[in-house]
Amino acid sequence: MPRGDGRLSHDLDPQRPGPQDACGVFGVWAPGEEVANLTYFGLYALQHRGQEAAGIAVSDGSSVVVYKDLGLVAQVFDEPTLASLRGHLAIGHTRYSTTGGSTWENAQPTIRSTTAGTTVALAHNGNLVNTADLQRDVAEQGLGSDGSTNDTSLVTMLLASYPDLSVEAAALKVLPRLRGAFSFVFMDESTLYAARDPHGVRPLVLGRLERGWVVASETAALDIVGASVVREIEPGELIAIDAEGLRSTRFAAPEPKGCLFEYVYIARPDATLAGRNVHATRVQIGRQLAKEHPVEADLVIGVPESGTPAAIGYAEASGITYGAGLMKNPYVGRTFIQPSQTLRQLGIRLKLNPLRENVRGKRLVVVDDSIVRGNTQRAIVRMLREAGALEVHVRISSPPVSWPCFYGIDFATRAELLANGLDNEGIRRSIGADTLGYVSLPGLIAATEQPKTRLCRACFDGEYPIELPAGNLIGKHVLEGVGRRVTGAAPEAARSAPRGAEHGGTPPLVASPGGATVHRP
């Protein structure tokens, strides 16, 4: 499990987490710059997208070194570690697991030596849906396992499996075989690569430094390293950056289906998606909520942080005063303590507490981004009533989440999704609100300023733009099961592998042929 670092994650109840973010990827090609430091700061800006593990791969032109571990970016890296990662080219990753459990072996970047003596390192944001098929391909080709159980390592193995091709040429063979959502940054000793699936489900942007180039999941990561935004990597596009410059190749025809939930929750408010500022989108969603679900009230408050912009928009459109009603404690650790049942019942108070003077005697509109299981909203409504609120009207800046995501966001299972089993009135009663209103799907789409046809809305309407496999060959732990069926290996071996010398003498460095070195902290 990740170590507690004293900082707040988005989980208000660690035992029943809400939607878990996709991962964050970052890449930089910049001779003469401290690329490891730039990558560290880029990952820091993307920490909200993944909080289980972090890693950086660096090349000095002759060898590739990867340093990774479980934990947040600031836990994994310190100044001496970054100073040891020297080179002109780097990629980085901050992870939330969508395929493969939270183990050191599944931390990224993944790395693989080719038979030609070069090295491939890769970081992935998204989730593939033909993972089981890829695992069978890897097994049939006799490619050895590295102990990991994620889709990213399979892609890395395939990229390294073409003895007579460059990494770039191999990518043009492998990428068309992948199904699902992927925004990749990857590298060999001399070149930075980036690729985005034909649907462009997950974001990926290109930036320019004075002496190089940057690729990142969100524009906010470009801002933090002083890079100017050039453009988005296009769906179905592979770019390569080296001493000869930047070149672009199409490996598939684009069929854009950007993730709608990025606008609601995942992306930072200061990010730009498809030319639209995320904060402005969320404020507009709040205005739409006020039009669709008006109510007489005294105060509009947001559930920090993701509900705040929509609350501002709701207040603007309704004419009701906007104010603070809930304070968020930013210094509560992640899951460094397993609370007793008594403490768990108080759980949310560790991270949110009402401003009693502001809410006492008031009719409140409480704006939040989504309802998954309903535990958070139920606790908030109860807390505000105990603080003296006369009425609590809940407004949600997304439609009911009724379907799971298979493209890079780990929602609850469909059986756990509150909206799957209850209608609006049933949900209202379940969370204890006086009234409940969700923004409509057309209203949400309009706020993004994107056509409906260019957005993936599957978690709201069940229309999956990328075909899903039949049977049970999908899900976070699919490779553990497939690996058992294909190779006869016990999945527990990978999940319980030692993570350092203190667990049985594993050396601090694990080297592989082709100049690749993986640090095991």
Predicted confidence (pLDDT) per residue in 417-440, tens digit:
889 889 999 999 999 999 999 999
d(CA 221, CA 215): 9
CA-to-CA separations, 457 to 43, 474, 490, in angstroms, rounded:
27, 19, 37
DSSP strand E in 320-401: where?
Answer: 326-328, 352-354, 363-368, 391-396
- Residue 230 Cα to chain centre, angstroms: 22
Mind listing the pLDDT tens digit for each residue in 348-389?
Answer: 777 889 999 999 999 999 999 999 888 889 999 999 999 999
Q: How does residue 11 score in pLDDT terms, banded at 50, 70 and 90?
A: very low
Cα–Cα separations (whole angstroms), residue 378 to 30, 152, 348, 368, 374: 49, 37, 10, 12, 6
- pLDDT band at residue 343 under the 50/70/90 scheme: low
Rg of the chain over all Cα atoms, to the nearest angstrom: 23
94-138 pLDDT, tens digit each? 977 555 555 667 788 999 998 778 899 999 999 999 988 998 988
Per-residue HEC secondary structure of 244-300 comes to: CEEEEEECCCCCCCEECHHHHHHCCCCCEECCEEHHHHHHHHHHHHHHHCCCCCCEE
Instruction: Give me 482's structure tokens.
Output: 């497939």
User: Greater confidence, 151 or 443?
Assistant: 443
How far apart, in Å, are the Cα atoms of 228 and each of 2, 206, 209, 220?
33, 9, 7, 10
Residue pair 107/152 in contact (Cβ under 8 Å)? The answer is no
Domain 272-461 has CATH 3.40.50.970: no
pTM for the complete prediction? 0.85
Binding residues for Mg(2+): 306, 368-369
Query: What's the mean per-residue pLDDT of the chain?
Result: 84
- Collapsing DSSP states into helix, strand and coil, what is residue 424? helix
- Taking the alpha carbons of 91, 97, 100, 104 in that order, is the dihedral positive or negative? positive
pLDDT, position 350: 75
The whole-number pLDDT of residue 211 equals 93
CA distance 125 to 217: 8
- pLDDT reading at 139 higher than 90: no
Q: Residue 372: what residue type?
A: V
Are 56 and 67 in contact by the 8 Å Cβ rule? The answer is yes
- Average of per-residue pLDDT across 238-267: 96
How far is 222 from 205, CA to CA, in rounded Å?
9
> Can 23 be counted among the known catalytic residues?
yes
Tokens matching residue 493: 């071996």
Whole-angstrom distance, CA of residue 465 vs CA of residue 203: 16
Give how far the C-alpha of residue 468 lies from the chain's centroid of Cα atoms, to the nearest Å: 20
Per CATH, the homologous superfamily of domain 24-256 is Aminohydrolase, N-terminal nucleophile (Ntn) domain (3.60.20.10)
Alpha-carbon distances of 446 from 278, 336, 449, 451, rounded to whole Å: 13, 41, 5, 8
E-strand ranges in 337-457 read 352-354, 363-368, 391-396, 435-438, 455-456
Binding site for [4Fe-4S] cluster: which residues? 259, 405, 456, 459
Per-residue pLDDT for 477 more than 90? no
Q: Any idea where the domains of the chain sit in the sequence?
A: 24-256, 272-461
- The catalytic residue among 8, 12, 22, 23 is 23
